[in-house]
Every structure is written in C-alpha cells, then in structure tokens.
C-alpha cells in the first residue's frame, strides 16, 4: 500500500514523464543484448592486482577494482515503482540492498562518487556506506552532501561536497586521492540532459539548512552534475595504469569533457562509462567525447528501468535509445576500441594497455 506524500503538488509534465518511462514497449534488438560478463578473479590469480575489474551495479552504478583497491559510483538497488516515485514516500529497500550489494574486505573501497543527487543515484548510498563501508568517503556536489548527511547523520566527516575543486570550462580541477594513494579522481562540471525536449524534472539545488531527508522523490534535487576522471595508479602513486571517464548522464556533446592536463598527467582514456538514459535528447552525445578521446573500451549503462526490482532481472527503460547509441559508438570507436552494453551484476575485465598506447589523443 502506498503511503501518500501529503501536500505534494508537482508539475504535470513530470508525472507524465514518469508514467511514460515506466510504460510501453521494452523490446530490444537481440543483437544488442547486455554482455553476460566473466567470473571475478581470484586473489590467487596472477592477473589479480594487474587487471581492472568492472562490476555493473545497475542504474549507472559501478564498482571498479584492481586487486585490493576499489572505487564505486552511485550504487542503487531499491528501485521504487513509478507510482511511488510520482506520488508517495520513497526510502531505501534495505533488504534488497543487503541481498544485492557486493561484499568487500574492509578498507578496499576508497570512495563512492556521486554524479548528481537524484534519488536513483544517491538514495541507497548513505545506508550502504554506514553498514558496509565504515571508512569509505562519499564525494559529490554540495547538494549530494546535504542529502547524504540528512539521510545518515552518522556519516559526518565522511561526505565531501566538491565545489572549488571541480574542473570547469576546460580548466583542470584538483585531484582527490583515496587512502593509500593508489586511486585518484577529478570531478568535472557537466549538465544533466533534458528528460524531454526543454524539460527536466527534479532540477535545482538542495538548501544548506536541510533538516531531514526528503520523503518524496521530488525532494532529491539534482544539484550540480559532475562527471569524473578516475586514475588507478602504480605502486609509486604517480604512474597512471588505468584512466576511466565516468558520466551518469547523457549531456550535450560539448559539456562535461575532460580538461587538457599537463604533459606529465596525460594518458589515454582506457575505459569510458557512459549513460544511455534518455540519450536521444542530447545532440553531439557521445560523438564529441569519442572523437576527442578514443577510449579503448566503452561500456554503456543506465539503460534499464529504474522502476523494476533488479532481483527480477533488467528490463529496458522505454526512453533509452540503445539502437542509436550503438550506431553512434560503433561509428566513432578507436581502431582498437570495443564497446559493450552492461548487464546488472556482471563483471568485465580490462588488461593494462601497452605502454606505447598510454596517450591522450589531441
């Protein structure tokens, strides 16, 4: 039974959008089925500690791990039904989180990165950080910071709101390092794509004096949207072994691009984690990025319904234009590049590139 959110008056267009995304045809071209992935590496395997393992957590969330060092992006499992999102109270489904969230040895996960503060990227994170990762730091916009602390006040001191440290307009921001110095990342200012032409739901920022966590999905406002460059570093903490670009939105092609870094910091992007959600409304996406950076591997995520229990298996979000995304990515891949569609729960591997290929294409 739904618990109605009293006094909730929301834009009619937003409710129509939610209903549209939850309904209609979910058919998918058989040639574009998600990649099933591979088994995780054993710590006793000679490739463990050298190979980057990428576990898709669903809805744009990933666990990136090399050996005993890992970083995650916005895990989300709760997936309340669309009627609840549109009209009622939402909260983390802790039983479902406990069932689906991967277990890691304490201290392995250095950080959780939040791209924007909508409920489908942040709702579950405070509970996950408190229960499963007691030393992990959460990074995101000031709005994401306020929502996380309102949800779990015990996280005070472990949630960082990034502002002056963010790369904007091509100017590099500040690198942030996880404990131990083996992973670093830089936030990049971008924009959330429209949900419909000229219309975006749950936009705006969260006020500084937020006293309690919003009961309604409409209170989980977007805040500033961030993409990230993530580097897995060598034992010296300087050499870049893997560079990953992550965006949990599908912005217009000239926004959210990695900045031009100093000569010593340049490195080819090995892995691009791109979002398909509502991809069809963003001109130039992801063409501009692919042409400029030519990643070795592209993984497409955030294509599945955010209103379906993930334990039942994924179902396509009606407005995710997987076919167009596939055509665009295939047409603009690097000569040695590959791409795949991520399957929730699946693991993918990326071996180190030959040193001669460790470059950033100008």
Nearest to 123 by CA among 88, 99, 150: 150
Answer for the pair 64, 71: CB distance below 8 angstroms, yes or no. yes
pLDDT at site 56: 98
Q: How far apart are CA 283 and CA 297, in angstroms?
A: 22
Q: Residue 1 pLDDT more than 50?
A: no
Which DSSP string do the residues of 230-248 spell out, in sequence order? EEEE-TTS-SEEEEEEE-S
pLDDT at site 5: 46
What is the domain class of 12-342 according to CATH?
alpha beta
**Higher confidence at residue 260 or residue 1?**
260
- By CB neighbour count within 10 A (0-12 exposed, 13-18 middle, 19+ buried), where does 6 fall? exposed
Secondary structure in 3-state letters for 11-51: CHHHHHHHHHHHCCCCCCCHHHCCCCCECCCCCCCCCCCCC
Percent of the chain predicted with pLDDT > 70 = 87
pLDDT at site 104: 96
Q: How far apart are CA 144 and CA 226, in angstroms?
A: 11
**Higher confidence at residue 147 or residue 320?**
147
The sheet with strand 159-161 has its strands ordered as: 159-161, 137-140, 109-113, 69-73, 61-66, 52-58, 347-350
- What's the chain's Rg over C-alpha atoms? 19
Q: How far is CA 162 from the centre of its chain?
A: 16
Whether pTM exceeds 0.85: yes
- Give, in degrees to the nearest 5, the angle at Cα 361 between 333 and 266: 130
Q: How far apart are CA 272 and CA 64, in angstroms?
A: 12
Q: What is the mean pLDDT of residues 21-39?
A: 72
Rounded to the nearest 10°, the torsion over CA 286, 292, 293, 299 is 10
Q: Residue 25 pLDDT more than 60?
A: no
**Higher confidence at residue 141 or residue 279?**
141
The sheet with strand 176-177 has its strands ordered as: 176-177, 183-190, 225-233, 240-246, 271-275, 297-301, 338-341
Q: For the chain, what is the total number of helices (H) and then of strands (E)?
A: 8, 14
ω into 339 cis (within 30 of 0): no
pLDDT at site 12: 46
pLDDT at site 196: 63
Nearest to 114 by CA among 205, 274, 248, 286: 248
Q: Residue 2 pLDDT more than 90?
A: no
pLDDT at site 200: 73
Both structure tokens of 57: 């957590």
Q: What is the mean pLDDT of residues 305-332?
A: 90
pLDDT at site 169: 93
> Phi first, then psi: what are they for 330, rounded to 5°?
-60, -40
Q: What is the mean pLDDT of residues 191-200?
A: 72
pLDDT at site 32: 83
Note the pLDDT tens digit of each residue in 43-98.
Answer: 999 999 999 999 999 998 999 999 999 999 999 999 999 888 888 899 999 999 99
Q: Residue 362 pLDDT more than 60?
A: no
Q: Residue 253 pLDDT more than 80?
A: yes
């Amino acid at each position: 039974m739904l618990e109605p959110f009293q006094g909730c008056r929301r834009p009619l267009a937003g409710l129509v959008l939610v209903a549209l995304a939850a309904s209609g045809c979910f058919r998918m071209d058989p040639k574009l089925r998600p990649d099933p992935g591979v088994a995780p590496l054993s710590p006793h395997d000679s490739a463990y500690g050298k190979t980057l393992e990428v576990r898709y957590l669903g809805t744009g969330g990933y666990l990136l791990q090399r050996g005993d060092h890992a970083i995650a992006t916005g895990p989300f499992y709760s997936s309340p039904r669309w009627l609840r999102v549109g009209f009622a109270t939402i909260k983390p489904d802790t039983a479902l989180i406990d069932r689906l969230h991967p277990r890691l040895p304490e201290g392995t996960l250095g950080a959780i990165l939040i791209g924007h503060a909508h409920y489908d990227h942040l709702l579950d994170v405070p509970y996950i950080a408190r229960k499963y990762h007691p030393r992990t730091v959460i990074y995101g916009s000031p709005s994401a910071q306020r929502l996380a602390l309102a949800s779990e006040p015990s996280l005070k001191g472990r949630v960082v709101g990034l502002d002056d440290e963010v790369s904007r307009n091509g100017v590099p921001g500040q690198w942030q390092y996880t404990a131990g110095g083996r992973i670093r990342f830089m936030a990049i200012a971008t924009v959330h794509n429209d949900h419909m032409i000229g219309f975006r739901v749950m936009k705006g920022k969260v006020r500084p004096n937020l006293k309690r966590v919003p009961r309604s999905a409409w209170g989980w406002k977007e805040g500033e949207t961030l993409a990230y460059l993530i580097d897995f570093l060598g034992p010296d903490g300087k050499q870049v072994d893997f560079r990953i670009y992550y965006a949990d939105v599908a912005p217009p092609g000239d926004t959210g691009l990695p900045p031009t870094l100093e000569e010593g910091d340049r490195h080819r992007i090995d892995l691009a984690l791109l979002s398909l959600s509502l991809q069809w409304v963003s001109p130039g996406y992801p063409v501009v990025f692919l042409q400029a950076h030519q990643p070795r591997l592209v993984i497409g995520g955030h294509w599945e319904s955010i209103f379906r229990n993930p334990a039942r298996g994924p179902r396509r979000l009606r407005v995710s234009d997987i076919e167009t995304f596939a055509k665009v990515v295939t047409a603009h891949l690097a000569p040695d590049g590959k791409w795949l569609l991520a399957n929730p729960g699946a693991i993918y591997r990326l071996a180190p590139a030959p040193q001669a290929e460790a470059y950033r294409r100008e």
